[in-house]
Amino acid sequence: MSSLRRAWRGYRSVPIVYRISVGFLLGAVVGLAVGQPATQLKPLGDLFLRLLEMLVIPLVVFTLLAGMERLSPSRLGRVGGIVVGLYMATTAVAGVIGLTVANLLNPGVGVEFTGGKAESAEPPSLAKVVLGIVPENPISAMASGDLLATIFFVVVFGLGLAVVRDTADDEAVREGVETIFRAVDAATEALFAVVWGVMEYGVVGVFALVAASLGSHGVDAIVSLAALVGTIAVAIGVHIAVTYLGVITAGLLGQSPLAFLDGAKDAMVTAFSIRSSSGTLPVTIADARDNLRIDESVYGFSLPLGATINMDGAAIRQAVTAVFAANLVGAPLGITEQVTVLATVVLVSIGTAGVPGAGLVMLTVILNAAGLPLEIVGFVAGVDPILGRIATMNNVTGDLAVSSLAAKYNDAIDLTGGVWGDGDVAERSGVLASND
């Protein structure tokens, strides 16, 4: 028994991100080697996704409420304005980078278009988008996983609690509000403990997800559309290196890009593995709190919002695919068409749900705007799994970069601790290596 205990402790001493990476690689090997039978492992992966999704709404509710405890209405306006402004700016930059790289590499030239089918989708009206933010029933919004509506209600309710705490004449009422906030703090800590427990199972979950995915699709689809996959990967690499690491981390934050990557790697690997920004949210929040040392008053607002509206990866993916589609049909996009694509990409990416497969639906809007055949959606669907992975990894990286910068502007980040400090970085996730 002692040898088993020592082996378990040795296993736990390895940072979780490395264990998940090994699970990913082993899953890829098994999926490619075994083929279709590997799809029988999918339930194990689905369980991991369900465990993460189970935590999303509780974490959004409790971290937002905890953030409201330290945010006055005026400061919330400042934090919200900075966060939304940065998200919009990085998404616009992402679209420009996507179009620039696509024009340089010209994916789609010489690729045989075999056709396919796709359903058309129309972009929602501005009025519908605005009204959709306000839930008719907040409990229903939480039950259905509507993050934007949930965020709106929790922010309003949290501000209400803060106002009552500061203005109520009745001491018992003020004490009641403080009790609520203390309970929220305790619930948040409990949820983080659950998050890391789920991540322990994530090694098995990621292995199963990757094995089932590659066992089902194989590499044939990826090879046939290698130009599209490669171009999007290059554009996302440029965006991460230049925008997040160069401009935001090194330039505006004044910190080491390697330190930022060290702090964000858990969320990046998880996002690449499960293809869901909202599903990765528990891990993203944990990285912001434990590694990047961002205060809850900022990350409790910025990360749930980012999982909903910050879709830089989707912007790049859709911009490149529009150029790819135009090249496929022999009608390259001119400047006017590309400006239209850019504007549409920025607006549509904000409304793209942070779940697997949503990119294909939104792509039909982009193709409609550019006057390109919708059948191309069916043609590129075969590589959707790999495109979704790299785009989602980009999204969560952007969420953490923007949150770090917004926190600096609001004096809500500890740049002397976590990955930013000179101490042992391993302390930030000591719970992972704790002895039983």
Note the pTM of the prediction, 2 decimals. 0.72
Longest dimension (CA), the chain: 75
The pLDDT of residue 66: 78
Residues 6+ positions from 22 with CB-CB distance below 8 Å = 203
**Band (71; pLDDT cuts 50, 70, 90):** low
Which tokens go with 320? Answer: 């490149």
Which domains, from first to last, does the chain contain? 53-421 (1.10.3860.10)
- First-residue to last-residue Cα distance in the chain: 13
Most confident of 25-34, 150-159, 246-255, 420-429: 246-255
Segment 417-431 shows an average pLDDT of: 58
φ and ψ at 109, to 5 degrees? -70, 120
Q: Which two tokens stand for residue 18?
A: 């490395």
Distance between CA atoms of 316 and 297, rounded to whole angstroms? 30
**Is the confidence at residue 356, as pLDDT, over 70?**
no
> Which has the higher per-residue pLDDT, 239 or 122?
239
User: What residues pair up with 413 in beta bridges, in sequence order?
Assistant: 294
- The two tokens of residue 158 are 């949290």
Using pLDDT thresholds of 50, 70 and 90, give the confidence band for residue 354.
very low
pLDDT in the model for residue 218: 63
CA distance 223 to 273: 20
Percent share of the chain, pLDDT over 70 = 82
Q: What is the pLDDT of residue 118?
A: 38
Q: What is the mean pLDDT of the chain?
A: 80
Mean pLDDT of the 190-216 span: 82
Task: Give the up-direction half-sphere exposure of residue 278: CA atoms within 13 A in the CB hemisphere.
Answer: 24
Those residues with Cβ within 8 angstroms of residue 303's Cβ, 6 or more apart along the chain or in another chain: 63, 281, 284, 285, 288, 399, 400, 403
- Check pLDDT > 90 for residue 20: no
Q: Given a cut of 60, is residue 322 above it in pLDDT?
A: yes
Counted residue by residue, the chain has a size of 436
